[in-house]
């Protein structure tokens, strides 16, 4: 399997003399489902932000496919991967659910086609959001906002997904929907990275499990 991310002798820290990762070695396969776990503060969200290009200035080798991450633009990275942030409001860019998904589709450059409209409505229907399409985001519950972000992911189905605590705040039905979506993507050779502190997973669809410990990542 070809890796989408490769870390080798990789180090990163927010402060010069306080490293969060040191001599990290990791390969994340492009068409597999990978789970990375770790305690609070271990660096799970930081790892997501590094992979999505939100953080830079690392040491060592860090590749997206075969390209050095520090040589790629944010546009280059966003064409390959999509990040679902743990802070759900950080994923929202518009005033209503419908506007938000339209922006995900048109990327501020073009108008949506009929096919785009159909895909958007199917995404909303999957997460039972039709009745909230035009409701202001600030009037929605935490769970409803989370469903907007999950629906938006479906519009980026051909990219590699990086999901930071994706199951947080979801009931059992929505967890099942998301798990089945990830399984379906895997069957189509589209990979997903799940980052979570949870241990109670249905691991039948997860190919590799890692844990962040002592500034590195160990295979479980």
For strands 208-213 and 33-37, give the pairing. parallel
For 14, 163, 194, the CA distances from 166, given in Å and listed in that order, are 25, 5, 7
Quick check: 199 pLDDT over 70?
no
Q: What is the pLDDT of residue 217?
A: 93
Per-residue pLDDT, averaged over 11-17, amounts to 87
Return the domain boundaries, the chain. Answer: 1-80+162-220, 87-158
- Read off the pLDDT of each residue in 9-35 and give the average, rounded to a whole number: 92
Q: What is the pLDDT of residue 25?
A: 94
Confidence of residue 100 (pLDDT cuts 50, 70, 90): confident
Grouping H, G, I as helix, E, B as strand and the rest as coil, residue 83 is strand
pLDDT at 113: 61
Cβ neighbours of residue 134 closer than 8 Å, sequence gap 6 or more? 96, 97, 98
d(CA 67, CA 201): 33
Query: Across residues 178-201, what is the average pLDDT?
Result: 88
Q: Which of 125, 143, 140, 157 is nearest to 94 (CA)?
A: 140
Please name which of 178, 173, 134 lies closest in space to residue 157, comparing C-alpha atoms: 178
pLDDT for res 131: 86
pLDDT reading at 106 higher than 70: no
- What value does the mean pLDDT take over residues 189-207? 83
Exposed e or buried b per residue across 19-48, where buried means at least 16 C-beta atoms within 10 angstroms of its C-beta:
bbbeebebebbebbbbbbbbeeebbbbbbb
3.40.720.10, 3.40.50.10420, 1.10.150.130, 3.40.50.300: CATH of 1-80+162-220: 3.40.50.300
């Amino acid at each position: 399997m070809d890796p989408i991310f490769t870390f080798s002798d990789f180090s990163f820290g927010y402060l010069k003399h306080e490293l969060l990762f040191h001599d990290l070695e990791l390969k994340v396969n492009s068409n597999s489902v990978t789970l990375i776990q770790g305690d609070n503060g271990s660096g799970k969200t930081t790892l997501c932000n590094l992979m999505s290009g939100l953080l830079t200035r690392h040491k060592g080798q860090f590749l997206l496919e075969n390209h050095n991450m520090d040589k790629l633009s944010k546009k280059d990275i966003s064409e390959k991967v999509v990040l679902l942030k743990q802070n759900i409001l950080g994923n929202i860019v518009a005033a209503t659910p419908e506007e938000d998904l339209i922006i995900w589709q048109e990327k501020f450059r073009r108008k949506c086609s009929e096919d785009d409209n159909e895909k958007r409505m199917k995404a909303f229907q999957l997460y039972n959001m039709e009745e909230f399409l035009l409701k202001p985001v600030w009037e929605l519950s935490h769970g409803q906002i989370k469903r907007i972000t999950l629906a938006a992911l479906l519009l980026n189905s051909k990219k590699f997904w990086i999901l930071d605590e994706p199951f947080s705040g979801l009931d059992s039905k929505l967890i099942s929907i998301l798990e089945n979506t990830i399984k379906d993507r895997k069957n189509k050779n589209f990979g997903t990275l799940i980052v979570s502190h949870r241990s109670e997973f249905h691991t039948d669809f997860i190919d590799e499990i890692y844990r962040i410990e002592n500034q590195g990542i160990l295979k479980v």
